[in-house]
Amino acid sequence: MLMDKARQELIQYGRALVDSRLTKGTGGNLSVYDPETQLMAITPTGIDFYEIKPEDIVIMKLDGTIVEGDKKPSSEWVMHKIQYEKRDDITAVIHAHTTYATVIATLREDLPPAHYMIAVAGPNVRCAEYATYGSPELAENAFEAMIDRNAVLLANHGILAGTHSLANAFNIIEEVEYCAQIYYMARAIGEPVVLDDAEMAKMAIKFESYGQKK
C-alpha cells in the first residue's frame, strides 16, 4: 500500500484524539502530505477512529483524484489540501471538535494569549469566518485565518492545526485546547489579563526549539 507509515500514524493519532477527549465519535479528520509524490493520505468519512483500518485510509491527489482506497475521503478534504497547496511548511493537518476551543469559536472571537503556551500556534489563534462544513468557502476561510499561524478556530465548528508532522499537530491541538480552557475559566470569574505583543515575540523565539517533536 502507498504511504504505509502515514496510514499507521493517522490511525494512531485519530485514536489519540478520542482517548484524550479532544473529539468524539467520528468528529474530526487527519491527513499527511508527501511533497515528493504530491499525494495526501487522509482519514475516511464517517468511520469511528477505533474502527479505521490501514486500507480504509484514502490516498489522493490534491485535485481530488483518488489514487488508492475504496472509501470516501473526509468531507473536509478540501480544508486539508488548501494548506498543502499554499504552504510549504505544512505536511500534516488535524481537525478536531475540541470542547473549549469550540466554545470560543461559537463566540466567533479570536483566542488571545492568556497563557504563554498558545505560542505553539502563534501569538494568538484567530477565528475563521463561518462557512458550511465541507465547503470550499470554509477551506478558504480557514486558510486565510491561519496565515502566519499553526492553528485556527472554525466558527461554530472546531479547530484546525497544521505543521510538519502529526506529532506536532496533535501537540498544538492539545495546547490550544488547554489555553482555551484556561481562558474560558478565567472569563467566568473575571477579565483575563493577556500577554502583550512584546512578550509573545519573546515566546516565538523560545518556542523555535521548545518541545518540538521531530
76 contacts: CB under 8 Å, gap ≥ 6: 29, 95, 133, 134, 138, 139
Q: What is the mean pLDDT of the chain?
A: 96
- Helical pair 166-189 and 4-19, crossing angle rounded to 10 deg: 20
pLDDT digits (tens, 9 = 90+) for 1-16: 899 999 999 999 999 9
Least confident range from 24-28, 49-53, 171-175, 193-197: namely: 24-28
Residue 31 to residue 42: CA distance in whole angstroms: 4
CA 167 – CA 211 distance, rounded (Å): 11
Catalytically annotated residue among 76, 174, 175, 177: 76
Among 21-35, 141-155, 198-212, the range of highest mean pLDDT: 141-155
Of 18-27, 160-169, 203-212, minimum mean pLDDT range: 203-212
| Known active-site residue 76 | yes
Average pLDDT, integer, range 154-158: 98
Taking alpha carbons only, the member of 201, 206, 189, 209 closest to residue 113 is: 201
Which domains can be identified in the chain, with CATH numbers?
A: 4-206 (3.40.225.10)
CA distances from 151 to 1, 60, 113 (A): 31, 23, 13
Q: For residue range 167-206, what is the model confidence (pLDDT) as tens digits?
A: 999 999 999 999 999 999 999 999 999 999 999 999 999 8
In this structure, what C-alpha cell is assigned to residue 196? Answer: 502583550
- Give the span between the Cα atoms of 169 and 13, in whole angstroms: 10
The packing angle between helices 99-106 and 166-189, to 10°, is 60
Which pLDDT belongs to residue 211? Answer: 56
Query: Three cell numbers at 128?
Result: 475563521
How many CB atoms are closer than 10 A to CB 43?
29
Buried b (16+ CB within 10 A) or exposed e, 11-39: bebbebbbeeebbeebbbbbbbbeeeeeb
Grid-cell match 508532522, residue found: 165
Between CA 26 and CA 28, with CA 27 as vertex, the angle to 5 degrees is 115
Residues 57 and 44: beta-carbon distance below 8 Å = yes
119 pLDDT more than 60: yes
Separation of alpha carbons 172 and 166, rounded Å: 10
